[in-house]
Homo-oligomer: A and B are copies of this chain.
Amino acid sequence: MRIAIVGLGLIGGSLALKLTEQGYTVFGLSRSPLTCEQALARGAVQECGTELAQLQAFHPQLVLICTPLEQVLPTLTALLPHLPAATVVSDVGSIKQPIVEPATQQWPWFVGGHPMAGKTTQGIQAAEADLFVGRPYVLTPIAETRPQALETLQSLIAAVGAESVLTDPARHDRAVAWISHLPVMISASLIASVSQEVDPLILELAHTLASSGFRDTSRVGGGIPQLGVEMARHNREAVLASLRSYQQHLQQIETWIEKRNWDKLSQFLEQTQRDWRQFPVNQP
């Protein structure tokens, strides 16, 4: 199969590396000639171009749009004049509702995708062929999606060693609000509230004494600010709903502590300990 990858960052570059390794013919597209050079040097792509029009001569059967979220729809629109009929197209955006319906209306061979893999480092230099191995890779077909487009994506996911997870765009976005976007907001608020301690001796002490518990709880709140804004902006309703539900629990904890209701607090923490184990990522 002939696959074009538009955008050769961490995700696009890692997909390119693995698919080349698996024997596919991969054409890379990047706005940066330097990125193209690096992708060719790493053997991630067999050919590389900087203009979407160069795709025409490649005759791709599948195009993966691996740009930042806000560029997915404009990239699709710009791509379409250069694509053979029935070329399957997918993206890797971390929020699906704003993308999938308009994209599918334009091109029913579009399937929304979201590989659940990442690293703290970005760019083609950080790419690795095995980034997706054993990880969930979400696909969000809707009623208008062509079935053969979905099948093509499922075989691609198997080829990169990931596990297909099928759902609809709205459920995807609500699930990632819970497990990815809400954690950023609560973690950032932790950093902010500690850092605004008014007694400089207590603040210094907090800096000195913070250890693995604080490090883990504050990690995603100290991440790239643009990603946090992107989550809130493009998944606004789901993030707001999760924040509201979250605050009710926190308010409940505050009330129990105020009223010295240790039994209730204890039952609550026993329940969260049990619930915590329900997440496969938390299992030993």
Chain A residues near B (Cβ < 8 Å): 116-118, 135-136, 138, 165, 167, 171-172, 174-176, 178-180, 182-197, 199, 201-202, 205-226, 228-229, 232-233, 236, 239-240, 242-251, 253-254, 256-258, 260, 262, 265-266, 268-273, 275-282
User: Which one of B116, B175, B176, B282 lies within 8 Å of A218 (CB-CB)?
Assistant: B282
**Closest Cβ–Cβ distance, residue A199 to chain B (whole Å):** 7
Interface of A is mostly: helix
A178: B residues at CB distance < 8 A? 193-194, 197, 202, 206
Q: Is the CB of B243 within 8 A of A281?
A: no
A195: B residues at CB distance < 8 A? 271-272, 275, 278
**Closest Cβ–Cβ distance, residue A59 to chain B (whole Å):** 35
User: Which one of B172, B213, B248 lies within 8 Å of A179 (CB-CB)?
Assistant: B213
Q: Is the CB of A138 within 8 A of B209?
A: yes
Given contacts A174-B199, A174-B202, A202-B175, contact A193 B182 (CB under 8 A): yes
Q: Is the CB of A165 within 8 A of B236?
A: no
A209: B residues at CB distance < 8 A? 116, 136, 138, 165, 175-176, 179-180
Query: When chains A and B are docked, how far (Å) is the Cα of A228 from the Cα of B199?
Result: 25
A202: B residues at CB distance < 8 A? 171, 174-175, 178
Given contacts A165-B209, A249-B193, contact A229 B266 (CB under 8 A): yes
User: Which one of B184, B222, B250, B271 lies within 8 Å of A185 (CB-CB)?
Assistant: B250
Q: Is the CB of A269 within 8 A of B187?
A: no
**Closest Cβ–Cβ distance, residue A138 to chain B (whole Å):** 7
A205: B residues at CB distance < 8 A? 165, 167, 171-172, 175
Query: When chains A and B are docked, how far (Å) is the Cα of A271 from the Cα of B188?
Result: 9
Query: When chains A and B are docked, how far (Å) is the Cα of A266 from the Cα of B265?
Result: 35
**Closest Cβ–Cβ distance, residue A220 to chain B (whole Å):** 5
User: Which one of B211, B218, B229, B268 lies within 8 Å of A192 (CB-CB)?
Assistant: B268
A243: B residues at CB distance < 8 A? 250, 253-254, 257
User: Which one of B191, B218, B258, B281 lies within 8 Å of A211 (CB-CB)?
Assistant: B281
Can you list 12 A-B pairs with a CB-CB distance of less than 8 A? A165-B205, A171-B199, A179-B211, A186-B186, A189-B246, A189-B250, A192-B249, A214-B279, A214-B281, A222-B272, A222-B275, A228-B269
Beta-carbon nearest neighbor of A269 in chain B? B225
Query: When chains A and B are docked, how far (Å) is the Cα of A246 from the Cα of B249?
Result: 13
